[in-house]
Amino acid sequence: MPQFVLDREAIDRFRTRNRIETALTLAALGLLAGAIGFLAAGIEGLAMGAVMAVTVLSFGALPADAVFRQGFGAAPLSPFHAPGLNALVQELSRRAALPSVPRLYLLPQPVLQAVAAGSTERPGIGVTRALVETLPAGELAAVLAHEVSHVRHGDLTVMRMAAAAAGMTRAMAQAGLLVLVLWGAGAFGAHPLLPLLLMLAPLASDLLALSLSRTREFLADAGAVELTGDPAALASALRRLQALQGDDFERLGSRGPRWLRWFRTHPTIDERVAALAAATRVVRPALPAWEGVPWTVPPTVRRRPNPWRR
């Protein structure tokens, strides 16, 4: 049976491409917000947008405890309640060289789900009871390694920055449209393209943030394989999750136009499994002793004539 191992060169290429895409997406989000400020009020508007961005990003991420307790209604999973899960997360965190081990939380939702929140210094991982009780040990380790990889790669901070930039762009666009409706374009002395930009900017910023989310998911999958060394387990877990609870958005996207996928937060299961296959290579096990034996008759051996055949 073939064995699958991590292709380090493919992972390095994938990580480099991911960093470039992340940098370009964040730059595009920043330029979009800056363009609104510049077209609306020139250099003053651009400076005001920069001040708003610095102010928004200066606020730190919410602690994981507040996110899971207040946002999800989750309860902490201490080592006393779940010693195996906590030991698994501790080992994955050690392999990932995290500054602190993520705290575990039990989510009350009935679906199969795992999610990371907080910051790199104070992270947390929430899991549902259905996920823990359904997945085999290897697949559960792969899913938790995926969430640990999100923490390791700084995705919690990156996505917070993207959400802040998208939210700021949306707020500036809505305020600009309100001014245009109440006082007209003369109130700005603005560029003629400003109304069109104000209408399209919120949608564009949301699409850029969703694209960044999908890109970071691919990197988290590759990071999970690095931590576990078992790409087949993660692919199996993805297929199992798809088979058990499905993906309504994916089915809608398969029946409708392809642009519907632009509104996904995660890539499709097929795309993720294909990316895992591209980041791994097959190692054939050693051949048994009998394999490779020439089963054909050597030409030096002559067949005896059959005396019963005329």
pLDDT in tens, 111-135: 898 999 888 888 999 999 999 999 9
Q: For residue 147, indicate whether it is catalytic.
A: yes
What percent of the chain is predicted at pLDDT more than 70? Answer: 68
CB 64 within 8 Å of CB 100: no
Q: Is the pLDDT of residue 144 over 90?
A: yes
Choose the weakest-confidence range: 160-164, 269-273, 281-285: 281-285
Choose the weakest-confidence range: 17-31, 76-90, 143-157: 17-31
- Residue 232 token pair: 């087949």
What percent of the chain is predicted at pLDDT more than 90? Answer: 17
Which one of the listed residues 147, 217, 226, 250 is annotated catalytic? 147
CB 109 within 8 Å of CB 131: no
Instruction: Supply the pLDDT for residue 167.
Output: 77
Instruction: Supply the pLDDT for residue 150.
Output: 92
What's at 31, amino acid-wise?
Answer: L
- Residue 4 token pair: 């699958």
Instruction: Supply the pLDDT for residue 297.
Output: 37
Domain boundaries, the chain: 3-278
Average pLDDT, the chain: 75
Q: Is the pLDDT of residue 252 over 60?
A: no
Separation between Cα atoms, residue 229 and residue 231, nearest integer Å: 6
